[in-house]
Structure 1
Amino acid sequence: MFELDQRLRQDTIDCGSFPLSRLLLMNDCSYPWFILVPQRENLREFYHLEEADRQQLWVESIQLSLWMDQYFHFDKLNVAELGNIVSQLHLHHVGRRKSDPAWPGPVWGHRPAVPYPQQEIEVLRQATAIAFADLLKQD
């Protein structure tokens, strides 16, 4: 049975489920930052996914990336699979702007997260629900 890593649970806001992945919003309003987590047991690496799931993850990543680009208007989108702290397979999507606090360096460890105000969380949850209405299940 799929279980979301504790660190991801504590650092993110759940925005629902795509056919394969949980859609999470990183609770740091310094950057537009979403994470896709394939809902499969004991996955640590992309290549551990079955072929159909690998393809589905890319489909979901591209759909998320296109929406983020239109919604947030950033300078660059960084998509990365890192697992040094959280080993569970997850795919970061971080919109970067030349004006962001960490530019041009990495966002990880740059400074403590600045949590979203509750009103902004609701706006982003609603925006993702509308953008992905045909794909996203709200849990």
Structure 2
Amino acid sequence: MEIHPQLLADCHVLGKTESGVLLLHKNSQVLWLILVPDVLQTDLFAVEGPIRTRIFADCEKIAAIIRQWPGVEKLNFAAIGNVVPQLHLHLVGRHHADPCWPKPVWGNLPESVPYRDEVLEELKTALQTVFVNE
């Protein structure tokens, strides 16, 4: 599966899920995970029922990880696709002290703050325990 170049420029690739590939936005100011389903459709509701069910099952697993992450108070979910036409789902952990609260993250986060290597590894480990042997 090919991932849109803009997503690859903005994100770290964390690994595969049952329905696609999981990305982590490079800006560490909010926990921003992006699921890129392995489908040709660009609209979530154009995806056939059983496949869409798998996508939502992956989203539920990703959401559980985000909810357990320190400091996360609210989970935002979106499938916008206005800039990147490839279907991708945003799951963003928010908190009242994040730099753009209560506004949406798109276009409102200040300059990017990269993740420390140990935090990246911690996220990869958490995700591997959830998605291994699917």
2:42 maps to 44
RMSD: 1.4
Among the aligned pairs, what percent are the same residue? 34
User: How far is the alpha carbon of 1:51 from its aligned partner?
Assistant: 1.4
User: How far is the alpha carbon of 1:118 from its aligned partner?
Assistant: 2.4
Write the deviation string for residues 32-66 of structure 1: whole angstroms up to 9, x where unpaired: 1100010123x211122121111111111111111
User: How far is the alpha carbon of 1:120 from its aligned partner?
Assistant: 2.0
1:100 maps to 98
> Does the 8 Å contact 1:27/1:115 carry over to 2?
yes
1:72 & 1:50 partners in 2: Cα distance? 35
1:113 & 1:39 partners in 2: Cα distance? 28
User: How far is the alpha carbon of 1:115 from its aligned partner?
Assistant: 1.6
Matched residues, number: 133
> Does the 8 Å contact 1:32/1:72 carry over to 2?
no
1:84 & 1:35 partners in 2: Cα distance? 15
TM-score (norm 2): 0.91
Bigger relative CO (Cα 8 Å, ≥ 6 apart): 1
1:86 corresponds to which of 84, 94, 97: 84
- Comparing 116-125 with 53-62, which one deviates more in the overlay? 116-125
1:83 is matched by which residue type in structure 2? G
- Comparing 96-105 with 45-54, which one deviates more in the overlay? 45-54
